[in-house]
Structure 1
Amino acid sequence: MRILFAGTPQVAVTSLDHLHAAGFDIAAVLTRPDAPLGRKRVLTASPVAARAEQLGLRTIKSNKIDAEVTGQLAELNLDAAAIVAFGGLVPAAALNMPKHGWINLHFSLLPDWRGAAPVQHSIIHGDDITGAVTFQLETGLDTGPVFGQVTERIGELDTAGIMLDRLSESGSTLLVQTLQALDAGQAVAIPQSGSHTYAPKITDVDAQLDFTRTATEIRRRAHGTSPFPGAWATADEARYKFGPLRERREMAELAPGEVHIEPGKHPVVYVGTSTWALELSTIQPPGKKMMNASDWARGVLTQGTKVSFA
C-alpha cells in the first residue's frame, strides 16, 4: 500500500516507525518546516522530519498544504494518506486525492474533544478514560466517520505527556490495522453520533494554577498542562513552575497557597488549597532549572524564608 505520512511532533514519530516497520510503501513524509528552538534559536528540524531522514524517506516541508504541495502529492499516486498531529488543515482539493483519502489518528474518543489538545483537556476536565481513534478526514473539524478506537484509563498521577506517550503506542497499532483493513477492503467507518466537545490549543494562561480551587481541580490542571506549557503560579510576583502533584487528603489545615515544608533528610513540600494539601514533586524557581522539590526545600529552610503562592 503506497501512502503519504503527515505529522510533525514527537508523538507522531511512533506512528511513522510503526508504519515503516509494517512494510507500507511510504512515498513521502509531509511535515512542518524547520523552526528556531531554544534560547539560541537554532533552526531545528521537526521530530518527524528528523526521523524521516534517518529512515531515508523523501520529506516535504510546508506550513500548509497549498497548491504547490497538492501538486507534489498528485504525482505520488497514493493509495492513502495517514496524518498524525501535522499541525495544519488539509484542503478539500487534497482530501480525495489518495484512493482511500486521509486517515487521521486523533488522540481522543470522538466526538469528545475535537481539536488541537484533546488529551490535555480530557485530563483538565476530569475524564476517567481517554483514548485514540482513526477516522476519515473531512472538511469539518474532526467530524469524519470512525474506523476504530483504543482506550486508556487516566490515573491520578498521569500527565498529558505520559498519556500521549501511551496513546502514541496503542494508537500507532490502531493506525496500522486501519490501513491494512482498508487495503484488504474490510474497513468499516461508523459516523459519529451524540454531543461533542472542543479542545482548543492550550495556552500559558490555561497553565496558571489557582490555589483557592480544590486540590483535585489544581492537580488536573497541572497534569493536563505538563510538560507543555507547564503549570505555574507566582510568589512575591516571581513565577514558579511545577511538575506533577500528589493529593494529600490527610493534610487539610493549610491555607490556599500556603507552603509547608516537612523537614528531614528528604524534605517534603506541601501547598494548601481550598480542600486538602498538594505535595510537590518538582519545582522550577525563577531563573533556574526544574529541580526536585526536596532540593528546593533545603534552600528555603537554610535561608529561613517563607513562601506562599498566589
Structure 2
Amino acid sequence: MKLVFAGTPEVAVPALDALIASERHEVAAVVTRPDAAAGRGRRLVASPVAQRAEEAGIEVLKPAKPRDEDFLARLREIAPDCCPVVAYGALLPKEALEIPARGWVNLHFSLLPAWRGAAPVQHAVLAGDEVTGASTFRIEEGLDTGPVYGVVTEQVRPTDTSGDLLTRLAFAGAGLLAATMDGIEDGTLKAVPQPAEGVTYASKINVEDALIHWSAPALRVDRLVRACAPAPGAWTVFRGERLKVMSVALLPDRTDLGPGELAVTKNAVYAGTGSHAAELLWVQPQGKKPMRAADWARGVRIAGGERLGA
C-alpha cells in the first residue's frame, strides 16, 4: 500500500522504521508537527520523525494545523491508501480522515478501551497496572474510540518508569503496526468494535499533577515518581524551592518518620510518607543537574526536623 505516516516524537520512530523496512508498503510522505524551539539557544529543531524521514529521503509535511487547505490538497495529490499514526500530537479533522481509502490507523499505547487519551503509559504506571500493551485501531472522530485491529501485551515491571515502559512498547508496537498494514492490505484483518465495558481515560499529566503529597501512602508516592519519569518529573518543595524527585526506594520496615520528614545518614536520605518511609535515590535541585540524593543532602546540610513539602 501507499502510506503517509503521521508522528512526531522519538517514540514514533521505531514504527516509521518498521514501515520503511517493509517490502510490501511504500512510505510516500510523513506528516509531523512543525519545528519547535529547543535548547538554551531556543533554535528551531525538526521533530525526531521529521529527521528520520529526511534521512530516508521521504517527503515531510509540517502543517501548522492538519485542517490547513494546502496540507489537505497535498494529501489528496499523494492519494495514500492508508495513513498509520503514532503520537502525531494533533486532532485530525473529518476532511483529512476521509482522504485515504483505508482510513487512518493509530498505534495507541494501551489495551483499549483502557486508558484512552494523551498519557496512557503514565496512567498505567500510576494506577499500578500489572499488564498493559499497545493497540492498533481505525481513527474516527471520537477520542480513541475506533474499532481495534490488533493488540500486543506488555508486563509492567515493579521498577518501570513511564520512559522504560514506553520504550518497550514503541518497539513491540512497531511490529504490530507493520503487521496491521499487512493484514489490511490482504484483507485478512478486520477491525472489531471496542467493548463498552472497561473504558478509562488518560488525561495529560501536567506539572501540577506531579506534585508529591507526602501524606499519601508510600506506594502511591513511588508510582507517581515512576509515572512522571522522565517527564514532567515528580517534585516537592524544600526550603521554599522546587526539588525534583527522580527515583525512590520503599522501606516497608521504617515507620518512624512523619509525612515529608527527612532523616539523613552518611550515604542515604529518607523521607516519611503516610505509611512507611521512602529512600530518595536521585533528585534534581532547582537550576541544577540531577544528582544522588546523598550528595544533595551533604551539600544543603539538612537539619533535624526538616521536611519536604510546601
> Aligned residue for 1:182?
184
Determine the C-alpha separation between the residues in 2 that align with 1:299 and 1:170: 43
For structure 1, which runs of at least 5 residues remain unmatched after alignment?
Answer: none
Determine the C-alpha separation between the residues in 2 that align with 1:213 and 1:46: 38
Give the fraction of aligned pairs with identical amino acids, expressed as a percent.
Answer: 46
Determine the C-alpha separation between the residues in 2 that align with 1:287 and 1:139: 42
Contact 1:157 1:245 in 2 (8 A): no
Which amino acid in the other structure matches residue 79 of structure 2? N
| Superposition map of 1:262-273 within 5 A | 262-263=265-266, 267-273=267-273
- Count residues with an aligned counterpart: 305
Following superposition, the deviation at residue 30 of structure 1 comes to 0.2
> Aligned residue for 1:56?
57
Pick aligned residue for 2:218 from 209, 215, 218: 215
> Aligned residue for 1:196?
199
Determine the C-alpha separation between the residues in 2 that align with 1:96 and 1:214: 49
Contact 2:264 2:302 in 1 (8 A): no
| Superposition map of 1:110-259 within 5 A | 110-193=112-195, 194-259=197-262
| Superposition map of 1:19-98 within 5 A | 19-23=19-23, 24-66=25-67, 67-98=69-100
> Aligned residue for 1:308?
307
Secondary structure of the residue that 1:212 maps to in structure 2? coil
Following superposition, the deviation at residue 256 of structure 1 comes to 0.9
Secondary structure of the residue that 1:201 maps to in structure 2? coil
Determine the C-alpha separation between the residues in 2 that align with 1:222 and 1:125: 12
Deviations 1:90-140 (A, max 9, x none): 111121311211110001111111111111112112222111100011011
Determine the C-alpha separation between the residues in 2 that align with 1:242 and 1:167: 25
- 1:184–1:254 distance in 2 versus 1, CA, 3 Å: same
> Aligned residue for 1:9?
9
Deviations 1:170-189 (A, max 9, x none): 01110010001111111121
What's the RMSD between the two structures over aligned residues?
A: 1.3
Contact 2:5 2:83 in 1 (8 A): yes
Contact 2:5 2:16 in 1 (8 A): yes
For structure 2, which runs of at least 5 residues remain unmatched after alignment?
Answer: none
Deviations 1:220-248 (A, max 9, x none): 11111111110100012110001122211
Deviations 1:64-93 (A, max 9, x none): 211221111111121110000000111111
Secondary structure of the residue that 1:100 maps to in structure 2? coil
Superposition TM-score, scaled by structure 1 size: 0.95
Secondary structure of the residue that 1:29 maps to in structure 2? strand
Secondary structure of the residue that 1:281 maps to in structure 2? strand
- 1:63–1:224 distance in 2 versus 1, CA, 3 Å: farther
Superposition TM-score, scaled by structure 2 size: 0.95
Contact 1:4 1:80 in 2 (8 A): yes
Which amino acid in the other structure matches residue 278 of structure 2? L
Which amino acid in the other structure matches residue 29 of structure 1? V
Secondary structure of the residue that 1:244 maps to in structure 2? strand
Contact 2:247 2:283 in 1 (8 A): no
Following superposition, the deviation at residue 152 of structure 1 comes to 1.3
Determine the C-alpha separation between the residues in 1 that align with 2:152 and 2:41: 40
Determine the C-alpha separation between the residues in 2 that align with 1:182 and 1:77: 17
Following superposition, the deviation at residue 156 of structure 1 comes to 1.9
Secondary structure of the residue that 2:283 maps to in structure 1? strand
Contact 1:282 1:291 in 2 (8 A): yes
Deviations 1:234-291 (A, max 9, x none): 012110001122211121211111122232xxx1222110111112221011221111
Contact 1:157 1:244 in 2 (8 A): no
Determine the C-alpha separation between the residues in 2 that align with 1:295 and 1:63: 45
Contact 2:245 2:282 in 1 (8 A): yes
